[in-house]
């Protein structure tokens, strides 16, 4: 049986070369997919309003059908917190520089996604909603294992079995988030969600050697989905 420890340097180099081709040929629509389940961390406090999501929604979601999202055009975004849940062991031992890099990336992604339609402000008032966001899990890819299990037949087969069994491929990263939007004047919850995203084995990009690629791709996905959801709510859609 071939294991990572028994592979020679020359074999690893060959695997890296093959991986360079596969990242281009193995493209897919989304760089991440939704995890099978997510553990709540306690960051949101009250989870009783959240229900299992449907279709492309988060794993747990709440939308206040009486909020009147059209009247909100400004956002206060609290600093994104690192708030490890029961499974967030990587976050607990993460280097401060890595944590800052991830938080800054997530913050910038949301502002870029929403900045054309909302004004980011620092003071509460009418028409201002507050975003509270916590990164509750962020596991980086283990690049050598990811590469080897992408190109060497025995490891590819084991990766397929692992993915079917646990919903996550060998060496692949993942991330979990908790989010809520509040009315800054009343404190009323406008919406909330809890979700997990797992990186795909092949993204069709030259990103195989970025250990944080799945986490950053998850941030991109959540920011885009947040923008889409707000657009639908402002159009009077997306409330069942």
Q: Where does the pLDDT of residue 74 fall: very low under 50, low under 70, confident under 90, or very high at 90 and above?
A: very high
pLDDT for 98 = 93
pLDDT for 165 = 53
Q: Side-chain half-sphere of 102: how many Cα atoms within 13 Å?
A: 34
> What percent of the chain is predicted at pLDDT more than 90?
55
Domain presence at residue 43? yes
Give per-residue pLDDT as tens, 145-186: 566 655 555 555 455 545 655 555 556 889 999 999 999 999
Domain presence at residue 214? yes
Q: Treating both helix axes as pointing N-terminal to C-terminal, what angle do 143-151 and 153-166 enclose, rounded to 10 degrees?
A: 110
Domain presence at residue 143? yes
Domain presence at residue 239? no
Helix (H) / strand (E) element for 14: namely helix 9-25
Nearest to 131 by CA among 49, 76, 176, 193: 76
138 forms beta bridges with: 175
- Provide the domain count of the chain: 1
Give per-residue pLDDT as tens, 105-121: 999 999 999 999 999 99
pTM above 0.95?
no
Both tokens of 233, joined, read 């709510």
Give per-residue pLDDT as tens, 18-67: 444 444 344 445 889 999 999 999 999 999 999 999 988 999 999 998 88
Domain presence at residue 58? yes
Domain presence at residue 87? yes
Domain region containing 17: 4-234
Give the whole-angstrom CA distance, residue 3 versus residue 20. Answer: 21
């Amino acid at each position: 049986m071939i294991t990572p420890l028994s592979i020679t340097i020359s074999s690893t180099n060959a695997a890296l070369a093959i991986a360079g081709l596969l990242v281009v040929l193995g493209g897919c629509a989304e760089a991440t997919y939704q995890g099978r389940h997510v553990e709540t961390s306690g960051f949101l406090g009250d989870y009783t309003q959240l229900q299992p999501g449907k279709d492309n929604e988060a794993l747990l979601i709440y939308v206040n059908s009486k909020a009147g999202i059209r009247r909100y055009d400004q956002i206060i975004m609290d600093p994104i917190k690192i708030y490890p849940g029961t499974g967030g062991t990587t976050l607990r031992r993460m280097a401060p520089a890595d944590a800052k890099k991830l938080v800054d990336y997530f913050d910038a992604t949301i502002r870029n996604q929403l900045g054309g339609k909302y004004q980011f402000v620092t003071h509460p008032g009418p028409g201002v909603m507050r975003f509270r966001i916590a990164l509750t899990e962020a596991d980086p890819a283990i690049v050598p294992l990811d590469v080897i299990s992408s190109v060497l037949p025995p490891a590819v087969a084991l990766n397929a079995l692992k993915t079917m069994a646990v919903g996550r491929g060998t060496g692949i990263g993942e991330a979990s988030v908790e989010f809520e939007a509040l009315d800054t004047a009343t404190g009323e919850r406008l919406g909330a969600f809890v979700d997990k995203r797992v990186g795909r084995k092949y993204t069709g990009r030259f990103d195989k050697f970025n250990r944080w690629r799945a986490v950053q791709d998850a941030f991109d996905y959540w920011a885009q989905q947040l923008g889409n959801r707000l657009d639908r709510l402002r159009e009077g859609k997306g409330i069942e």
